[in-house]
């Protein structure tokens, strides 16, 4: 007779497909703290793969809707955005999406910090973008890779809910730093993050 504990462990191992992430330990530009809560880090470390975002409803806590509207995150403060966005992107934000009102900066596009993975040659950040307008929801999740000094290497939209553009897709970052983007169960695009941090498309045959 097979021991019950063995069956439990076997069942768990069949379903546990997660891969541990080994984050490199060095100081980088991404060691930022919340402006409003200086003891709180802006980004937490991801510890395992896959990392997936779906186009499900609010019952799915990994969905675009839940993570954007119910995660209770503060938008990234402009002081931190100056570090995370390149100069042209930051100027575009200020000129086209923000206005000063009562000594405060109000923006119709907001960025949110989710997690990071630190490797020897690059830092990978997950950012969420939310835009406000009459068109409905416009939410994007990005992966961005940077050199340790903060120079942007690559960025890619990997999950999106856009009523404005009538575009909806979900994505996952899988073991081997493979990115899959899909919609309604159909894989649309595949990418790989190289060791130098460059995000490159890969063949469906890979």
Q: Is 14 part of any domain? A: no
Decide if 27 is inside a domain. yes
User: What spatial distance separates the first Cα and last Cα of the chain, rounded to whole Å?
Assistant: 43
Mean pLDDT of 50-62: 94
pLDDT value at position 1? Answer: 46
| Residues 194, 21, 127, 40, Cα dihedral to 10° | -140
User: For residue range 78-133, what is the model confidence (pLDDT) as tens digits?
Assistant: 999 999 999 999 999 999 999 988 878 899 999 999 999 999 999 999 999 999 98
Mean pLDDT value across residues 170-190: 97
Rounded Cα distance between 16 and 93, Å, is 42
Q: Taking the model in full, what pTM does it have? A: 0.88
- CB-side neighbour CA atoms (13 Å) of 134: 0
| Chain mean position to CA 160 | 11
In a domain, 104, yes or no: yes
Q: What is the pLDDT of residue 204?
A: 65
Query: How many domains is the chain partitioned into structurally?
Result: 1
Domain membership flag for residue 175: yes
Domain of residue 124: give its range.
Answer: 19-201
48/10: higher pLDDT: 48
User: What is the reported pLDDT for 206?
Assistant: 58
Residue of 8 and 202 predicted with greater confidence: 202
Q: What is the CA radius of gyration of the chain?
A: 19
């Amino acid at each position: 007779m097979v021991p019950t504990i063995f069956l439990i462990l076997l069942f768990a191992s069949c379903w546990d497909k997660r891969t541990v992430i080994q984050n490199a330990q060095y100081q980088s530009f991404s060691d930022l703290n919340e402006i409003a809560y200086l003891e709180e880090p802006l980004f937490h470390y991801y510890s395992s793969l896959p990392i997936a975002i779906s186009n499900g409803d609010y019952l799915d806590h990994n969905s675009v809707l839940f993570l954007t509207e119910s995660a209770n995150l503060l938008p990234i403060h402009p002081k931190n955005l100056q570090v995370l966005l390149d100069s042209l992107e930051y100027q575009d934000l200020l000129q086209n999406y923000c206005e000063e009102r009562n000594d405060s900066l109000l923006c119709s596009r907001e960025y949110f910090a989710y997690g990071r993975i630190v490797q020897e040659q690059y830092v990978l950040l997950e950012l969420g973008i939310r835009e406000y307008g009459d068109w409905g929801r416009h939410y994007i999740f990005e992966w961005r890779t940077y050199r340790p000094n903060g120079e942007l290497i690559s960025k890619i939209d990997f999950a999106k809910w856009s009523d404005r553009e009538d575009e909806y897709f979900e994505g996952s970052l899988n073991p081997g730093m493979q990115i899959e983007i899909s919609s309604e169960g159909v894989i649309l695009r595949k990418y790989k993050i190289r060791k130098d941090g460059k995000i490159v498309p890969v063949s469906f045959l890979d």
